[in-house]
Amino acid sequence: MLWWGPAVDNVVLGVCGSVAAYRAADLARELMRRGCTVRVCLTESAEKFVTRALFEALTGQPCLIGAFEEPESGRMAHIDWARQAGLLLIAPATANTIARLAAGVADDMLTTIASAYTGRMLIAPAMNPSMYASPALREALATLASRGAEIVEPAEGDVACGEQGQGKLASVERIAGVASVVLSASHALSGKKVLITSGPTREPIDSVRFVSNRSSGKMGSALARAALMMGADVTVVSGPSSAPLPIGATIVRVETAEEMLKGALARVKDADLVIGAAAVADYRPASPEKGKIRREAGRIELEMVANPDIIAALASAAKKGARVVGFAAEPGPDGEAARVKLARKGLFAIAVNDVSAPGIGFDADENELTLVRADGGEERSGRRSKLACALWLLEWLGG
């Protein structure tokens, strides 16, 4: 039997007991078409839908099911597979397996491999829409995401039970596409320290109200995740956001621009790469009220004062040779204003996103970046997931 040896494009494909299990056969073939070596591990429930023989014939590799199986006698398959995989991809992932993974339960071969595995993980859930919406499942997925797993959200549509909604396994092309992105991450940031600002800031009007913006923190979170994948030591100074930040990063939570400035300045001296993805409020109320402003007057006037320019301050304070990079949220495709910001803030480069374009920018799962460098060079990412944009950007900046 071929010994596959550790390699970045080795994929362990975990298949769970779902009607969508049959689609894992196409997924295995698609991953192989993209150059991966694929080994399949079925849960016992998956075996009710698909067979070991199917996957062994398709992949030319052994398939594991039971916790005590040893295709290479004298070796511990769960450790071998965990050590040698460049990606653990679970598709379809059922509610039961997702909950077991989140809880760290290792009671079959797949969850035992997962518990011994420390690398990149991708989870593609498939289930009834009500199960997918259930709080327990959402919490388990959030836990896995916060530990660095990528989730390929299920699609909307008809599911096997006859209901409609979100729960249908994402398309084979989409899952394989995300897997390729995750597998393509280099280790160009190994040993580097990366500091990221992320999310919105909140500037108090009184004790219960604030001025803020539509940043969800997804772009900053994707940058943190991508930098970790590429081997960096990552610190995120994040404004209030519900986007899960990866557990391997140091997270500094702040509310206001002034707190963000303080949090980032305290860490900038160590950083090799600084990225300002935060949507910092440019202005804040000059004198926030203590307590609650009462609805008495017909109108009120708020005096606003300028907030500090955080990324410009970081560019001045960064160590020699560090690259300080901003983002520019532009209300149109013209990059001229971004070039002015790049020069004014003293940056190495600026990543421009057109926040007027539908489906990208604020709160979207995708983005489209133009990287404008101070030396005049310009590169375009094309429209991709925020994670793929982040990897693309970091490959340019880390090289």
- Enumerate the known binding-site residues for CTP: 282, 292, 308-311, 327, 341, 345
Q: Bridge partners of 307?
A: none
Per-residue contact flags (x/-) with ligand PMT for residues 179 to 208, judged by CB under 6 A: ------------------x-x---------
Structure tokens at 6: 């550790």
Question: Strand 150-151 vs strand 210-211: parallel, antiparallel, or unpaired?
Answer: unpaired
Residue 383 neighbours by CB under 8 Å, 6+ apart: 359, 360, 366, 367, 368
Task: Compute the residue count for the chain.
Answer: 399
Per CB under 6 A, does 14 bind ligand PMT? no
Residues forming beta bridges with residue 194, ordered by sequence position: 234, 273
DSSP-based three-state secondary structure for 181: helix
Query: Could you tell me the smallest distance in angstroms from the CB atom of residue 352 to ligand PMT?
Result: 8
Angle CA(201)–CA(350)–CA(197) in degrees, nearest 5? Answer: 30
Closer to ligand PMT by CB, 75 or 344: give it. 344
DSSP secondary structure string for all residues of 182-209: HHH---TTTT-EEEEEESB--EESSSS-
CB of 265 to ligand PMT, least distance (A): 11
Least gap, CB of 183 to ligand PMT (angstroms): 24
Distance of CA 305 to the CA centre of its chain: 34
Catalytic one of 16, 41, 63, 161: 161
Q: Is 256 in the site for ligand PMT (CB under 6 A)?
A: no
Tokens for 137, please give them.
């499942």
Residue closer to ligand PMT, measured from CB, 42 or 315: 315
Pairing of strands 366-373, 378-385: antiparallel
Tally of CB atoms within 10 A around 105: 15
Residue whose CB is less far from ligand PMT, 90 or 315: 315
Name the minimum Å distance from CB 241 to ligand PMT.
7
User: How many residues belong to the site for ligand PMT (CB under 6 A)?
Assistant: 28
Which amino acids are annotated as binding site, given as ranges? 282, 292, 308-311, 327, 341, 345
Interface with ligand PMT in residues 336-395 (CB under 6 A) = 341, 353, 355, 361-363
**Shortest distance in whole angstroms from residue 343 CB to ligand PMT:** 12
Distance between CA atoms of 192 and 270, rounded to whole angstroms?
9
Q: Residue 24 burial by CB count (10 A; 0-12/13-18/19+): exposed, middle or buried?
A: buried
Active site residue 63: no
AA letter at 287: S
218 contacts ligand PMT (rule: CB under 6 A): yes
In the bound state with ligand PMT, the residue whose beta carbon lies nearer, of 112 and 197, is: 197
| Least separation in angstroms between CB 53 and ligand PMT | 45
Binders of ligand PMT among residues 280 to 339 (CB under 6 A) are 280, 282, 307, 309-311, 326-329
Q: Which of 109, 182, 279, 388 binds ligand PMT (CB under 6 A)?
A: 279
Q: 28 vs 280, which CB is nearer to ligand PMT?
A: 280
The pair of three-digit structure tokens given for residue 232, joined into one six-digit string: 């960096």
Whether residue 124 contacts residue 92, with contact meaning beta carbons closer than 8 Å, is answered with: yes
Site of interaction with ligand PMT (CB under 6 A): 197, 199, 215-219, 257, 276-280, 282, 307, 309-311, 326-329, 341, 353, 355, 361-363
Q: Which residues are catalytic?
A: 161
